[in-house]
Amino acid sequence: MERSDIKSPNHFLTIELSSEIYASLLAKVENTGKTESELVMQGLQHILNEDFEEERFSALEMALEQKLRQYVEKLLEERISSTATVERFTKDERHTNFDADRNPQNQQNSMPIPTIRPLQIGDRVLILEPDSPYYMAKLLVTKTSLIRATVETDTGEKTFLKRDLRFVESQSEI
């Protein structure tokens, strides 16, 4: 490998490549239309900027989490508004036809829909044991995020996916 003067704005570098790597480089040159030098510089920049990649991935993860949160909130708002519409419709229907309320199908339509709320700090949950249909003891939630919750156990704090948790009671019910 030969080196040029470090103080010049551009540097000339000669490297020795194996025939397999050079063949891959030539194939990439044909596909992209770039020169060998441009592709080698792009590869070096990629290797030298690995920290930048981690920052980019964390920013991307935060943006995706924010979009997912907005999407879930939008779905909840739509569900709440559609529930209110159904309730108004069933109230109007009851006033117009009292005999229809005795029909079991109409009673099922007017059954209340359970309230869904996000898991909060202070809630008590049961944790699904791995590879088992049984739950562990009631544990207190100490931290929450979009898809994970941290609970206080005898051995310290542990983080679980929310799908593996079963809500038992909230802090206000205790």
Most confident stretch, 19-28, 47-56, 81-90, 158-167: 19-28
Q: What is the pTM of this model?
A: 0.35
pLDDT given at position 162: 87
Q: At residue 46, what are phi and psi to the nearest 5 degrees?
A: -65, -45
- Written as one letter, the residue type at 170 is S
CB 107 within 8 A of CB 101: yes
Q: What is the mean pLDDT of the chain?
A: 79
